[in-house]
Structure formats: C-alpha cells, structure tokens
C-alpha cells in the first residue's frame, strides 16, 4: 500500500483536486460533496479565503462549523479529502460527525480511505477530542468497513443526511 502525504489544500494542486471532483460528479458519488464543475472557476478564486475562514471559524454561515481540511496526496495526485470538525459540541457531533472523508473514485479500494480516517483520528486527538463521532450510511460497505477497522463502535444513535436518509453514528472513545 503506498504511503500518502498529508497537506493543507494548496494552489499548486487545485487542478488535481478539481479533476477528482469531476470524476465524482460524473459517477454521481454520494457521501462526499465535491465541487460542481460549473463552479470550478469561482471556487479557484475564493478557495484560499474560504479555507482560511473555515479554519479560523470566521464569517461562517449559520450551521457551518469551524473545520480543518486536509488533502492526502499520492505524489502530485490528489487522492483524498479529509474534513475535521474538532470544535463542535457532543450534541452536534452525533448529528454531523467529527470528520468527513472522500477518496478520488479512481483510487478506491487501495486503503486510502482507511489511511485518511486513521490520520484524522490522530489529529482530532491532538486537538483534544475525546469521543470521536463518525457518521456512516449503513448501505456504504466501504465506509462501514473503515469505521470498524479504525476501532469505532456503532452506537444506538441515528441521524439523518441531507436527503433524510437514516445514518449510523459510530463512536471511538
């Protein structure tokens, strides 16, 4: 399994990231919200400021939590995105989870999703999160397998995604 480099989003890799977004759009991937192709130009212009505001928790619209975004790079190729939400309350955590992960579709099945979540757990711990919540579509076999491989336990909580579908809440203490 190749080892990925974890970086903060960097202009140099925007095109690689956006090509992964295009792939995910064409395949209608759910569980990750890639940038829509029609928004690429605007996204490139605003991304540095948006990432800065998200990280600093400044000027965020209601309902958008402060978050850190990381990219996992396979050489110069964008492989995965990891969004961490370390500053949410326990109640919010069982609604939206402390992390979200999306892997470039062409690179699925190589262990990258698992590597991303393992790295995310370490980073959340560094930031002081004791009980980590991971939200998982019960139909999403790969996501469920990752949660279990990373030591999470399925809790009795349930939450709903944007389409109103029930999601499982996994917890790691």
Ligand X SMILES: CC(C)(COP(=O)(O)OP(=O)(O)OC[C@H]1O[C@@H](n2cnc3c(N)ncnc32)[C@H](O)[C@@H]1OP(=O)(O)O)[C@@H](O)C(=O)NCCC(=O)NCCS
Q: Does 25 sit near ligand X (CB under 6 A)?
A: no
- Report the distance separating Cα 24 and Cα 22, nearest Å: 5
The tokens describing 50, both together, are 């948006």
Asked if residue 111 binds ligand X (CB under 6 A), the reply is yes
Among 26, 42, 108, 131, binds ligand X (CB under 6 A): 108
Q: Are strands 5-7 and 68-74 parallel, antiparallel or unpaired?
A: antiparallel
Hunting for tokens 């940038």 — which residue is that? 35
Helices (H) and strands (E) in the chain, counts: 5, 7
CA dist 168 and 148 (Å) reads 12
Q: Rule CB under 6 A: is residue 141 a binding residue for ligand X?
A: yes
Nearer to ligand X, 54 or 135 (CB): 135
User: Minimum distance between the CB of residue 20 and ligand X, rounded to whole angstroms?
Assistant: 10
The reply on whether position 84 binds ligand X by CB under 6 A is: no
Give backbone dihedrals phi and psi of 89, rounded to 5 degrees, phi first: -75, 170
How many residues sit close enough to ligand X to count as binding (CB under 6 A)?
Answer: 21
The Cα 48–Cα 55 span in angstroms is 11
What is the Cα–Cα distance from 22 to 16, expressed in whole angstroms? Answer: 10
Q: Which stretch binds ligand X (CB under 6 A): 57-65, 69-77, 86-94, 110-118?
A: 110-118
Least distance (Å) between residue 148 CB and ligand X: 9
Confirm or reject binding of residue 162 to ligand X (CB under 6 A). Answer: no
When the beta carbons of 58 and 145 are compared against ligand X, the nearer one is 145
Q: Which residue ranges make up the site for ligand X (CB under 6 A)?
A: 29, 31-32, 100-103, 108-114, 140-143, 145-146, 149
């Amino acid at each position: 399994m190749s080892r990925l480099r974890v970086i903060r989003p960097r202009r140099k890799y925007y095109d690689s990231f956006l090509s992964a977004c295009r792939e995910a759009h064409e395949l209608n991937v759910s569980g990750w919200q890639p940038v829509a192709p029609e928004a690429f130009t605007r996204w490139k212009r605003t991304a540095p400021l948006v990432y800065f505001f998200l990280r600093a928790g400044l000027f965020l619209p209601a309902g958008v939590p402060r978050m850190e975004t990381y990219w996992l790079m396979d050489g110069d190729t964008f492989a995965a995105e990891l969004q961490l939400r370390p500053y949410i309350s326990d109640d919010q955590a069982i609604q939206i989870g402390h992390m979200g992960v999306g892997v470039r579709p062409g690179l699925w099945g190589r262990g990258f999703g698992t590597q991303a979540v393992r790295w995310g757990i370490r980073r959340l711990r560094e930031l002081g999160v004791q009980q980590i919540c991971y939200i998982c579509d019960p139909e999403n076999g790969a996501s469920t397998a990752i949660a279990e491989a990373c030591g999470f336990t399925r809790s009795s909580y349930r939450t709903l995604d944007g389409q109103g579908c029930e999601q499982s809440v996994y917890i790691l203490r």
